[in-house]
Structure 1
Amino acid sequence: MPSANAALVDPRGPRFAASLTSVVLAAVLVTGSGALLAVQAAVFAVGALAGLQHSPYGLIYRTLVRPRLAPPRELEDERPPRFAQGVGLAFALTGTVGYLAGADWLGLTATALALAAAFLNAAFGYCLGCEAYLLLRRGGARLGAGA
């Protein structure tokens, strides 16, 4: 349950973002482009640090997709998907370093793991990073401001 000061988001937005992320990460795997993965890392960074509403994919969803949909049945706490963006950022940065340093195996592995997580969210609505957030919270971890 969100706290009184938690931002609330349409749960379809993060799933839409996961769909775009899946396409980008699949392109990275096909091309081996560390530069493209760095761009995805920047998208993750904005979502994790500034909030989902400021993420480029969040802006696309809010301006082009959401107006064409019925209102969401309910809103969800932004903190779990925002934490998931931070997890994605860690994998994307690791992969970017791997690709740019010539350790393609590291770039491939980190990208494939991030793609698996993004695809689970996009296709099935199962957010691994969100579940990790909830497990950590149940374990008593303090995660970021307002956690």
Structure 2
Amino acid sequence: MSLFAFPNPVNEYAARVTAGLVVLLALLTAAAGSVWGLLAIAAGFWLRLLFGPRISPLALLSVKVITPRLGKVKLVPGPPKRFAQGIGAFVSTASLLLYAAGAVPAAWTVLGILVVAASLEAFLGFCLGCAIFGLLQRRGLIPAEVCEACNDINLRRL
């Protein structure tokens, strides 16, 4: 297994639990006004993007502890989930950089966008990053061979 491997397929329930943990951490971070929380959120997204769930504390908690207790498995293609982690890494890093630059209200606004996207995944099972991936793939901006299984993904209405 490559160091930078990402699972394919992915258990959608594990992804949803991880997103729920991101929402919880983000809300606690905002309530505390914590730059350390912003750093932890951004680091977690980068770890999941680069290494999959093998190193990220939130993903490990989700994959190894919480999701097995749910007993549910629904396998979905991995590439859109990795793309979504990339968007999360970008947005959370932007929030952290805004905070560090002194643009604190903007940092919390950007974090709020992340909370909305993660909440859609966690509570409604709608992965915004996956929807964007599907749209980009249908427009030819992401080659079809990146995710052959995505040709059947239920995002054709976009």
TM-score range, shorter chain: 0.7 to 0.9
Segment drifting more, 27-36 vs 100-109: 27-36
Partner of 1:60: 61
Partner of 1:112: 112
Query: Is the 8 Å Cα contact of residues 52 and 82 (structure 1) preserved in structure 2?
Result: no
Question: What is the CA deviation profile of residues 33-64 of structure 1, one whole-angstrom value per residue up to 9, with x for unaligned ones?
Answer: 22211111010001111124443222112221
Partner of 1:103: 103
Partner of 2:4: none
Could you tell me how far apart the structure 2 residues matched to 1:16 and 1:71 are?
A: 11
3-state secondary structure, aligned to 2:126: coil
Could you tell me how far apart the structure 2 residues matched to 1:71 and 1:120 are?
A: 19
Partner of 2:123: 123
Q: Which amino acid aligns with 2:19?
A: A
Could you tell me how far apart the structure 2 residues matched to 1:108 and 1:141 are?
A: 31
Offset of 1:24 from its aligned partner?
0.9
Offset of 1:99 from its aligned partner?
1.1
Could you tell me how far apart the structure 1 residues matched to 2:70 and 2:36 are?
A: 34
* Structure showing greater relative contact order (alpha-carbon pairs closer than 8 Å, 6 or more residues apart): 1
Q: Which amino acid aligns with 1:103?
A: A
Unmatched segments (≥5 aa) in structure 2: 1-6, 148-158
Partner of 1:17: 18
3-state secondary structure, aligned to 2:80: helix
Name the TM-score, length of structure 1 as normaliser.
0.85
Q: How many residues align?
A: 140
Query: Is the 8 Å Cα contact of residues 13 and 72 (structure 2) preserved in structure 1?
Result: no
Partner of 2:89: 89
Query: Is the 8 Å Cα contact of residues 94 and 106 (structure 1) preserved in structure 2?
Result: no
% of aligned pairs identical?
31
Name the TM-score, length of structure 2 as normaliser.
0.80
Offset of 1:31 from its aligned partner?
2.1
Partner of 1:3: none
Could you tell me how far apart the structure 2 residues matched to 1:141 and 1:54 are?
A: 30
Partner of 1:139: 139
Q: Which amino acid aligns with 2:24?
A: V
Residues 53/138 of structure 1: CA separation in 2 closer, same or farther (3 Å cut): farther
